[in-house]
C-alpha cells in the first residue's frame, strides 16, 4: 500500500529565509506526486505536481519540488519565504489507475516569523 511521510510537524522560518519541507513516499511504481497548501478555513490548493519527465517541478507562488527516486523523496522548496506562506502543507501520492485516489501525509505546519 502506498504511504507518505512528512517528518516535520511544525517548521518556523524567518521571512526572507529559504524553506525546505520534506516528503518521503512509499509506492511500488513511479508515483504521481503532489504538494498542496491549506490556509486556515480554506480548501486545499495545488502548489505543484509531478507526473513524469523533468524531476525538478516548478509550481505556483515561487515553490518548486524535486523528485528523487533513489531517496523516495519529493521535497518542497522556496528560496525566500513570505509571511503569507504561513499555512499547512500536505504532500500526497496518487495511485496510477484504481480511481486516482490520493494518499496524504499528515502535513507540516509552517510558521513565518517577521
Partner 1 sequence: GAGVSQSPSNKVTEKGKDVELRCDPISGHTALYWYRQRLGQGLEFLIYFQGNSAPDKSGLPSDRFSAERTGESVSTLTIQRTQQEDSAVYLCASSSGQGFYGYTFGSGTRLTVV
103 binds partner 1, rule: CB under 8 A: yes
Give the one residue of 15, 24, 32, 73 binding partner 1; rule: CB under 8 A.
32
28 binds partner 1, rule: CB under 8 A: no
80 binds partner 1, rule: CB under 8 A: no
Q: Summarize the chain as % helix, strand, coil (round to 5).
A: 10, 50, 40
Give the one residue of 47, 105, 110, 112 binding partner 1; rule: CB under 8 A.
105
46 binds partner 1, rule: CB under 8 A: yes
Quick one: cell of 110?
Answer: 509552517
How far are the Cα atoms of 23, 31, 50, 67, 71 from residue 85, in angstroms, in the given order?
18, 26, 21, 22, 27
Cβ at position 82, least distance to partner 1 in Å: 23
Q: Give CA–CA dist 100/98, Å, rounded.
A: 6
Give the one residue of 15, 44, 73, 77 binding partner 1; rule: CB under 8 A.
44
Amino acid at each position: 500500500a502506498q504511504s507518505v511521510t512528512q517528518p516535520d510537524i511544525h517548521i518556523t522560518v524567518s521571512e526572507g529565509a529559504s524553506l525546505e519541507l520534506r516528503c518521503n513516499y512509499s509506492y511500488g511504481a513511479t508515483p504521481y506526486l503532489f504538494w498542496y497548501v491549506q490556509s486556515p478555513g480554506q480548501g486545499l490548493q495545488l502548489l505543484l505536481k509531478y507526473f513524469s519527465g523533468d524531476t525538478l517541478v516548478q509550481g505556483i507562488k515561487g515553490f518548486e519540488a524535486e523528485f528523487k527516486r533513489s531517496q523516495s523523496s519529493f521535497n518542497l522548496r522556496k528560496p525566500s519565504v513570505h509571511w503569507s506562506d504561513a499555512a499547512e502543507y500536505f504532500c500526497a501520492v496518487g495511485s496510477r489507475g484504481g480511481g486516482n485516489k490520493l494518499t496524504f501525509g499528515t502535513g507540516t505546519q509552517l510558521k513565518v516569523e517577521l
